[in-house]
């Protein structure tokens, strides 16, 4: 759930009714978990990003799929505020999932004993921005390849 925009202020149609449920008008929906407008980027990372990194290190393929209508907060959730990735804000609390996941992934790879963990890390990132699909691959060395 995202905060209401100025043009939407008034009656809130979606209500969080429990840690894993919402109601929309008279209908209730249950999920693995629900975050609301008071949740921080750190909360989202703890809920989604941290388990994803640990699953990757355990040998499981993992992905985050952000889907929703325009203005629903996908870009903010994945990347954070527009100024959160500038050089002087590298540790900004507004960083989204993507920079936090990459930071944690490479921190954990460096932390693990090299005798225990000997492989090449590959990260694939797909972005559909305005119907233009950009697909990037990265090696653990940070070099792009095709």
List per-residue pLDDT tens for the chain, 146 residues long.
566 667 767 777 888 899 999 998 889 999 999 988 888 999 999 999 999 999 988 888 888 888 888 888 888 888 888 776 666 555 678 888 988 998 898 888 888 766 555 555 555 555 555 544 444 444 444 444 33
Binding residue per annotation — 5?
A: no
Is 75 part of any known ligand binding site? Answer: yes
The response to whether 143 counts as a known ligand-binding position is: no
The answer to whether the annotation marks 142 as part of a ligand binding site is no
Do the beta carbons of residue 94 and residue 39 sit within 8 Å?
Answer: no
Angle at 122 between CA 118 and CA 124, to 5 degrees: 165
CA distances from 22 to 19, 30, 145 (A): 9, 7, 43
Structure tokens that stand for 15 in this block: 């209500």
Give the residue from 80, 114, 82 showing the smallest Cα distance to 96: 80
Angle at 101 between CA 43 and CA 109, to 5 degrees: 130
> Does the annotation list 68 as a binding residue?
yes
Check the annotation: does 84 bind a ligand.
no
| Residue 17 assigned ligand-binding role | no
Q: Is 74 annotated as a binding residue?
A: yes
């Amino acid at each position: 759930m995202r905060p209401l925009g100025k043009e939407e202020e008034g009656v809130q149609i979606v209500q969080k009714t429990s840690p894993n449920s919402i109601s929309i008008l008279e209908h209730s929906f249950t999920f693995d978990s629900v975050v609301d407008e008071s949740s921080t980027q750190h909360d989202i990372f703890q809920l989604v990003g941290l388990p994803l990194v640990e699953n990757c290190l355990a040998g499981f393929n993992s992905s985050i799929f952000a889907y929703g209508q325009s203005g629903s907060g996908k870009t903010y959730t994945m990347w954070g505020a527009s100024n959160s990735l500038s050089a002087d804000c590298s540790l900004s609390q507004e960083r989204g999932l993507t920079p936090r996941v990459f930071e944690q992934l490479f921190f954990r790879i460096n932390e693990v004993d090299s005798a225990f963990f000997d492989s090449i890390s590959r990260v694939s990132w797909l972005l559909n921005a305005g119907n233009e699909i950009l697909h990037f691959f990265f090696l653990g060395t940070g070099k792009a390849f095709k």
